């Protein structure tokens, strides 16, 4: 009795296009959040004078604002 195996091995190298697309979407969202939105997309409102919101609710804006400074984006 003889067994015959006609299967061919398929090998791929490199990064898949799906992985690259997902990473580009994450990158674009991150640039949008830091460069433009500064946390407002998550529902954190930014008071005009800095004193209009209850204490402790402005942390997201402050985080993204500081990231703008760290990235060298123009701010104020």
pLDDT at 57 over 70: no
pLDDT of residue 53: 55
**Per-domain residue ranges for the chain?**
38-76
6: tokens are 């006609």
Q: Write the pLDDT tens digit of every residue in 1-40.
A: 667 777 777 887 888 999 999 999 999 988 887 777 766 7
In the DSSP assignment, the letter for residue 42 is: G
Check residues 37 and 45 and name the one with the higher pLDDT: 37
Residues 47 and 62: beta-carbon distance below 8 Å: no
């Amino acid at each position: 009795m003889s067994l015959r195996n006609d299967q061919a091995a398929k090998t791929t190298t490199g990064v898949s296009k799906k992985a690259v697309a997902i990473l580009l979407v994450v990158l674009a969202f991150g640039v949008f959040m830091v460069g433009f939105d500064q946390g407002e997309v998550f529902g954190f409102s930014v008071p005009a004078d800095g004193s209009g919101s209850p204490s402790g609710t402005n942390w997201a804006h402050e985080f993204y604002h500081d990231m703008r400074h760290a990235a060298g984006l123009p701010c104020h």
